[in-house]
Amino acid sequence: RQGKSKVLILLTDGVNNSGEIDPYTAARAAAALNIKIYTIGVGSMGEAPYPVDDPAFGQRYVSIPVQIDEEMLLQISSITNGRYFRATDTKKLEEIYAEIDTLEKSKIEIKQFIKVRERFLFPLFIGTILFCFYLIIYRIYLKVIP
């Protein structure tokens, strides 16, 4: 009986800017577990707009320098017997996923993680303060004579 292949698709710019485990160590661990990593490099060199949460003005975009570490992505895919792809736009990304689908015999389960951030606290805080001011003004300055 043939086992299902284990595949991980890594969609990133390749720059290691967080985490405690070195990407090469993680790749070797994946290879030891027979997990094949397909790396997809995304982004463009130069500057790109990046969303920043500003407490006063909400979400806004600032230009930040962008780097793509293609060498690391190539090595990660090589260590795990995967393959490196470069996505420059949405159409190319769809083509890459279709190609990975043809390379892998077993079904690929895609998990999507969405980070949700609640944005009601600031308006709630302002509303509470305004309501408190209303109560103070009503009790002190707008006394009702029976």
CA 8 – CA 26 distance, rounded (Å): 12
Q: What is the pLDDT of residue 2?
A: 52
Position of tokens 């308006």?
Answer: 123
Whether 71 maps to a domain, the answer reads yes
Cα distances (Å, whole numbers) of residue 6 to 3, 84, 100, 109, 122: 9, 16, 13, 10, 44
Whether 73 maps to a domain, the answer reads yes
Whether 87 maps to a domain, the answer reads yes
| Long-range Cβ contact pairs of 85-92 (< 8 A, separation 24 or more) | 85/38, 85/39, 85/40, 85/41, 86/40, 86/41, 87/11, 87/40, 87/41, 87/42, 88/44
Whether 136 maps to a domain, the answer reads no
Q: Looking at residue 29, which CATH number applies to its domain? A: 3.40.50.410
Domain span at 16: 6-110
Closest CA to 37 of 29, 48, 45: 29
Q: What is the pLDDT of residue 5?
A: 75
Q: Return the SS3 of 18.
A: coil
Whether 36 maps to a domain, the answer reads yes
Whether 127 maps to a domain, the answer reads no
Count: domains in the chain: 1
Q: What is the pLDDT of residue 144?
A: 62
Whether 144 maps to a domain, the answer reads no
Whether 133 maps to a domain, the answer reads no
> For the chain, first and last CA: distance in Å?
89
Q: What secondary structure letter does DSSP report for 10? A: E
* pTM score of the predicted model: 0.60
pLDDT under 70 in the chain at which residues? 1-3, 106-109, 143-146
Q: What is the pLDDT of residue 1?
A: 42
